[in-house]
Amino acid sequence: MENEKRQGVMWWQLFTSFFKIGVFTFGGGYAMIPLIEREVIDRRGWVERQQFLELLTLAQSAPGPISLNTSVFVGYRMDGYRGAFASILGVVIPSFVIILLIAMFFTEIRHNHVVEAAFKGMRPAVVALIVAPIMGLAKGMGWKRILLALVAAVVVWKLSVSPILFILLGAVGGILWTFLHTKREKR
């Protein structure tokens, strides 16, 4: 009871924990997983390590940023809808405030010579950061799937086809493949 009073009610704990995660997860994506692990497993003990691995698979399979998905999952588990809302707000508010401030003032300094020069340097760096993890992700995929990935990439790049089409094709294709495979096994 004492302990509960000192730390506050559950939704508030969820909010502050995820706010902290929101403030310190630079770069987003996989960079934030260790930080979430430390906060949610080691510090708060909300999720067990085994469950966290399941949660990661889930957060990666569902659409949307992984940190958002993780926050909704943990929040809902701990305190229902109220917890889910508190957690998602905690993750989003820091980045919202920071980017809003940048959007408000960046337009004014954007044509500054030094700022322009800095961005000229950063643009190719951004592309490099996107390219670098691709080989790691494609590891273990057969050549057919790699070819499929490349074809999808070129069509989206050259013909400006919406990626939504390929995501849907992938999902439907995967389901059909499973369906046909199951049928064959039954026979």
As given in the structure block, the two tokens for residue 142 are 């057969």
Q: Write the DSSP string, 82-123.
A: HHHHHHHHHHHHHHHHHHHHHHHHHHHHTTSHHHHHHHHHHH
Structure tokens at 23: 């403030």
Give me the 2-21 binding string for other proteins, x by CB under 8 A, dash otherwise: --------------------
Site for other proteins (CB under 8 A): which residue of 9, 53, 109, 118? Answer: 118
Say which residues have a Cβ less than 8 Å from residue 87's Cβ, sequence separation at least 6. Answer: 14, 15, 17, 18, 71, 72, 74, 75
Residues 75-114 that bind other proteins (CB under 8 A): 76-77, 81, 84, 88, 91-92, 94-96, 98-100, 102-104, 106-107, 114
Contact window for other proteins (CB under 8 A) among 3-11, 39-47, 118-126: 118-126
User: Which is closer to other proteins, CB of 4 or CB of 180?
Assistant: 180
Query: CB under 8 A: which stretch of 6-14, 39-47, 116-124 binds other proteins?
Result: 116-124
* 130 makes contact with other proteins (CB under 8 A): yes
Total residues belonging to the chain? 187
At 43, give phi and psi (nearest 5°).
-80, -50
Contact assessment for residue 55 and residue 87, using Cβ atoms and an 8 Å cutoff? no
In the complex, minimum distance from the CB of residue 39 to other proteins, in angstroms, rounded to a whole number: 14
- Using CB under 8 A as the binding rule, the residues of this chain from 159 to 178 that contact other proteins are 160, 162-164, 166-175, 177-178
Instruction: Figure out which of the listed residues 66, 79, 86, 90 binds other proteins, where binding follows CB under 8 A.
Output: 66
